[in-house]
Structure 1
Amino acid sequence: MFVMPDIPPRANLKIQLENLMEAAGDAVFQLNDKGEILSASKRTIELIKPDGILIGLLLSDLAVPEENTLISAAVTQAIQSGRHSQVNVQIKTHASVHCFDFLITAYATGQGNMELLAVGRNIAQQLATEESLRHLATHDALTGLPNRSLLSDRLSMAMAQARRTGKGFAVVALDLDGFKKINDALGHPVGDVLLREASMRLRDTLRDTDTLARVGGDEFIALLPNALTEADIQIVARRMIAAIQLPFEIQGHALYVSTSIGIATYPNHGDNEVALLAHADLALYRAKETGKARYVLYDPQTFTKPVHDVSIEAAMFEAVKNGEFLLHYQPVVDATTRQIMGFEALMRWMHPDLGLVPPIQFIPMAENNGLITLLGAWVLKAACVQIRHFEEAAGRQLYISVNVSPRQFRNDHFLETVDEAMKLSDLQGSQLLLEITEGILMSDPDHAETLLTAIAARGVRIAIDDFGTGYSSLAYLKRFPINTLKIDRTFVKDLPGSVKDAAICDVVISLASHLNLNTIAEGVEDEQQLQFLAKQGCTLIQGFLTGHPMLPDEAIAALKANSAAAFVI
């Protein structure tokens, strides 16, 4: 039978206390009723004052000056209650300052005195972890920008402040034009770097009081608090556009993207978060639809009601069955003679209730859900048949240009669709121009080469759309049977005033000329742009100056008003 040794009560208490002090906490002190240190554990001495003396000091003296009264108050509370108190304070250690969570317990000694045991736990790492978790919950992991959750909080604060002060604020929605092509062509690692660098450029255009949030993919929202005039907002938008238009140098690639911007203001365009974001997003769609690399301020008088993407996607399948999709045709004009040489077919969706749904809304969905293959085949066949009717009206040969989506291009039956369209319309191969993106070429070069060679063998022409905005490699101009380069509107809109854009257009046109390729400049909106491009030797131009996208009857009227010209493409 085990028999406890005969230890005097006071000695027994002292041994238990010493054992507890060595076993418990990161910092353990025995204090008198004045808060003076009577003893400390070995670990405490090593941590706080390995080469000094702690005995006799006040525990509060170890805290940073602005917090020493917190310890004094905790000591007093523990003594008065006869139980314990708790306090978080910054303690000066020999290496740095750490946050400790102290539990201070009062007890009576054998002599009837009151002493205290202060057990402290270093919670600096815990606080850092908690702060890291809070940051992850409210910030985008890739860019470090606020995420949608934090944006929502700041929008709520901005609205509360605006209601108090009577001063409004602006919400700016933007995304990167051409990002998907780069992501598809060069992969997500390059795309991620591009997003990080773009986010830094955008943040640098804003004030410290502004918020820039990444809300998904290449989509960003900027919150500009306090009253801003429309002129102020336009200055910010122009700064953003200019910052993104400069080339990005990433892993040896010179990448060009632009940004389109939609703007809504509080309270003019909405008095709640959902309305503000929806209206800014709708303005963004309008900016992309009317040229990209530009900003549009929401106008409740002219903008249709925004519809949630889920509703649009559900309606798309019914729209295919109900024949709600139609084609508009934009003239492509000889840069020198001003004669209409052909048309680009552009798909539109006329919803019976919503009206005209912007292509920027439904085409990405159709690409994702697979409908683009069905729609693309219909566009190709319908456009080829329609160009025959245009030729009858014009009394001369014309060509038709049709965009090919990445998913459509990868479809095993695409070549059969081309053959069916040409057979149905009895078009010559040279009258059909298929527009593909640089991303299509680079995502699977071997497949692209095989398919494009087969297409070229049929006499069909091939154009690179938005040339220069993605991964512009001279190698594929040599490898693939390309006939035409389309100069993106982002390089045209500031002509002839922009020296850099003028240089880029000059280089592209000169390159195409030496390789015996045609050039089509998109987005030509004024006479000065046309004159500059024609002087540089651009073959064809396309834009609002010479014709908006139009319905077939309007296109026929435009042809009849246009004098005859020989077919050149």
Structure 2
Amino acid sequence: MAELIPRDNHPAVLAALREALESPGLPSRVNARLNTPTVALWMELQVSAYRNEAGHAELLVVGRDISGQLATEERLRHMATHDALTGLPNRSLLSDRIRMSISQARRTGRGFAILALDLDGFKKVNDALGHPVGDALLRIAASRLAETLRHVDTLARVGGDEFVAVLPGAVSEPEIQMIGRRMISTMQLPFEIDGHTLYVGCSIGGAVFPEHGDSEVKLLAHADAAMYRAKETGKARCVVYNHARFTQPEHDVSMEAAMFQAVRDGEFLLHYQPIVDARTRQIMGFEALMRWNRPGQGMVSPAQFIPMAESNGLINLLGAWAMKAACVQIKRFEEIAGRPLYVSVNVSPRQFRNDQFIDVVDEALALSGLDGEKLLLEITEGILMADPEHAESLLTAMTARRLKIAIDDFGTGYSSLAYLKRFPIATLKIDRAFIKDLPSSVKDVAICNVMLSLASHLNLNTVAEGVEKEEQMDFLAAHGCSMIQGFLTGRPLMPSDAAALLKAQAAAETAAHQIG
């Protein structure tokens, strides 16, 4: 005989039957699981009661098999909360788990730890052997890492070769280091994939609630900062976040806390400084410059918050937002101008080292519909020379997408010019230090002439920064500088003001064309 078991609890079916008996003619519904010797089915039952000719109550039960529907719903729930490649929780489910851990920790007084993990050397494997091998490696790595954890812990894949673990009750550095060593050890074992014996490592950063952050954003950023410190200091290490080593001096602590709040409240914004043709003064593009409008204090200097964001890990989040926002905005500017424009976006050292950086660029281009040729990424000489092999690989991927690369603050960093030959550079941005005393300074004249001549012979564009005087503009235009940027031709502008400037220039160009 089959057993009728309610989906939630036994009284549910009994209550439905009782309601049907007490109210003849009114149907009642209940979901139930029907267990037979061979199979379990989920059934939706509609129960109706009525009086027969003898005055006795009788039941009419109509059932519908909803096993397939519930199975589909469960698959969709799983797909929405789990990574398709590894089967681990995804960023959405991770966020829920962290919030639950925070709530539980506040009730019980027992903290928990967050570990940010990044595979060392995965990108080289992926680039050399292709994505199928890379995907297989990630699946094996996910399985190995999960086996090192307890059943109460959560391991999530948050993108690329990045994972995050949530460890309830683990709050001391020795505990975190012990877990980290287990993870690092299991990742140092060889990976046998498609006839290849592969080796990758693992760098880990840890942060503890509430000592290292009282919110999800802070904990993840601080664990990420510690993980990057592990990479920078030798890789295959576990580093636990420490306020004294990782943050700015004491007087900046309040600003750091305000930064995390600013991310949540959307206080960061972009201004756009025009970049103009040195001869015609036509706007060719804009440099996107990040600003922070701090409530009650006005605009905070980027010189204050950018280094702090680089230190505490927020720069990856802010940089990704800025990349997408700038690409979307420049498309709107193109519609106003009625012609192509380009946008120049600064890339910090930490962003450049992030294995997911190229994915951020791809997302920005896909979201905006901007042509890759219209995105100019500004990097410094130091970024290139810190890790030339990584730089060459990443720049090659960029140029494959037709992105343009500019060297920012040219002439103020490494003295070697070998990178101009080695790397696919499109533009040199001449630092304002060499512009401010033009044309009266004999030395600055000589230096600028050399830079402009070098760029011309290498077929590179040049942008002179910090141009504030007409005589500087005249000198640079006469000596072959391609473009100008500075207060003379335009200060950084809000998007609405930049749009108004474009409209005015477009109207002037139309009028000149009609007169001509």
Which TM bucket (shorter chain)?
0.5 to 0.7
1:426–1:127 Cα change, 3 Å: closer
CA distance in 2, matches of 1:361, 1:272: 23
Instruction: Name the aligned partner's letter for residue 193 of structure 1.
Output: A
In the alignment, does 2:183 pair up with 1:240?
Answer: yes
Q: Which residue does the alignment assign to 2:218?
A: 275
Give the one of 115, 119, 141 matched to 1:198: 141
1:407–1:270 Cα change, 3 Å: closer
Give TM-score scaled by structure 1 length.
0.49
Mapping for residues 289-300 of structure 1, pairs under 5 Å: 289-300=232-243
Could you tell me whether the CA contact under 8 Å between 1:372 and 1:407 is conserved in 2? no
Offset of 1:153 from its aligned partner?
1.6
Offset of 1:116 from its aligned partner?
1.6
Q: Which residue does the alignment assign to 1:406?
A: 393
Offset of 1:94 from its aligned partner?
5.4
Q: Which residue does the alignment assign to 1:92?
A: 35
Give the one of 74, 96, 102 matched to 2:16: 74
Instruction: Name the aligned partner's letter for residue 198 of structure 2.
Output: L
CA distance in 2, matches of 1:426, 1:207: 52
Could you tell me whether the CA contact under 8 Å between 1:373 and 1:408 is conserved in 2? no
Offset of 1:108 from its aligned partner?
2.5
CA distance in 2, matches of 1:267, 1:193: 36
Instruction: Tell me the alpha carbon deviations over residues 371-416 of structure 1, each in whole angstroms, 9 at most, x when there is no partner.
Output: 898748x569x98xxxxxxxxxxxxxxxx99545125457699xxx
Offset of 1:110 from its aligned partner?
3.4
CA distance in 2, matches of 1:169, 1:286: 21
Offset of 1:227 from its aligned partner?
4.5
Could you tell me whether the CA contact under 8 Å between 2:88 and 2:155 is conserved in 1? yes
Offset of 1:426 from its aligned partner?
12
1:68–1:237 Cα change, 3 Å: closer
1:302–1:139 Cα change, 3 Å: same
CA distance in 2, matches of 1:169, 1:408: 39
CA distance in 2, matches of 1:157, 1:147: 15
Could you tell me whether the CA contact under 8 Å between 1:169 and 1:265 is conserved in 2? yes
Q: CA RMSD in A?
A: 4.5
Offset of 1:97 from its aligned partner?
2.6
Q: Which residue does the alignment assign to 2:52?
A: 109
Give the one of 92, 100, 106 matched to 1:149: 92
Q: Gapped runs of 5+ residues in structure 1?
A: 1-48, 50-60, 323-349, 384-399, 436-569
**Structure of greater Rg:** 1
Could you tell me whether the CA contact under 8 Å between 1:104 and 1:119 is conserved in 2? yes
CA distance in 2, matches of 1:208, 1:99: 29
Q: Gapped runs of 5+ residues in structure 2?
A: 248-255, 275-285, 289-301, 312-348, 362-371, 424-516
Could you tell me whether the CA contact under 8 Å between 1:169 and 1:224 is conserved in 2? yes
Give the one of 82, 96, 105 matched to 1:162: 105
Any idea what SS the aligned residue of 1:63 has? strand
Could you tell me whether the CA contact under 8 Å between 1:168 and 1:226 is conserved in 2? yes
Aligned residues: 323
1:278–1:409 Cα change, 3 Å: closer
In the alignment, does 2:27 pair up with 1:63?
Answer: no
Q: Which residue does the alignment assign to 2:350?
A: 360
Could you tell me whether the CA contact under 8 Å between 1:401 and 1:432 is conserved in 2? no
1:271–1:280 Cα change, 3 Å: same
Q: Which residue does the alignment assign to 2:193?
A: 250
CA distance in 2, matches of 1:223, 1:426: 45
Any idea what SS the aligned residue of 1:151 has? helix
Instruction: Tell me the alpha carbon deviations over residues 130-175 of structure 1, each in whole angstroms, 9 at most, x when there is no partner.
Output: 2212111211111111111211221122112211221111011111
Any idea what SS the aligned residue of 2:50 has? strand
1:360–1:93 Cα change, 3 Å: same
Could you tell me whether the CA contact under 8 Å between 1:363 and 1:372 is conserved in 2? no
Instruction: Name the aligned partner's letter for residue 361 of structure 1.
Output: Q
Instruction: Tell me the alpha carbon deviations over residues 524-558 of structure 1, each in whole angstroms, 9 at most, x when there is no partner.
Output: xxxxxxxxxxxxxxxxxxxxxxxxxxxxxxxxxxx
